[in-house]
Amino acid sequence: MLFGFAKPKRAKPLILHADDDAISHALITAMVQELGYDCMAAANGMEAFQLAEKLLPDVILMDVNMPIMDGIEACRIIKLKATTKHIPVIMLTSMDMVKDVDKAMAAGANAYLCKPVDMPLLQAKLTAVIPPPPPA
């Protein structure tokens, strides 16, 4: 039990990836699955927040710029809710949007990565916030 909430039992850790770009999501999903994690998609910050409450993922990979609700606002809400505040959030931003990093960290993000995402760096960021998945 974590912070008074039962964590779902899973065979592999679950990564929630929030991004409105289908190509970005396909690439991140392939990388995450190759690293041994399961991956679920959210198309915007509102959907990410709703799925975070429902699924209680082990980590959220959150794009900064999305429609309906951006990643920074979604991160802020996730970190304010008792049921989701314990979930690590790793923000994803393009190199030209690095100025958003300070805003993301102020919203409660645990870390950030610049796109395009480097797989060894992604693995390092994930294992820094959750244990690595069991070997296949």
Q: Is 68 a domain residue?
A: yes
What is the residue range of 89's domain? 14-129
Domain count, the chain: 1
Determine contact, residues 59/126, Cβ cutoff 8 Å.
yes
Tens digits of residue pLDDT in 61-111: 999 999 999 999 999 999 999 999 999 999 998 766 667 778 888 999 999
What is the rounded CA–CA span in Å between residue 1 and residue 5?
6
CATH of the domain at 83: 3.40.50.2300
**What's the predicted TM-score (pTM) here?**
0.90
Tens digits of residue pLDDT in 9-24: 788 999 999 999 999 9
Q: Is 46 a domain residue?
A: yes
Q: Is 136 a domain residue?
A: no
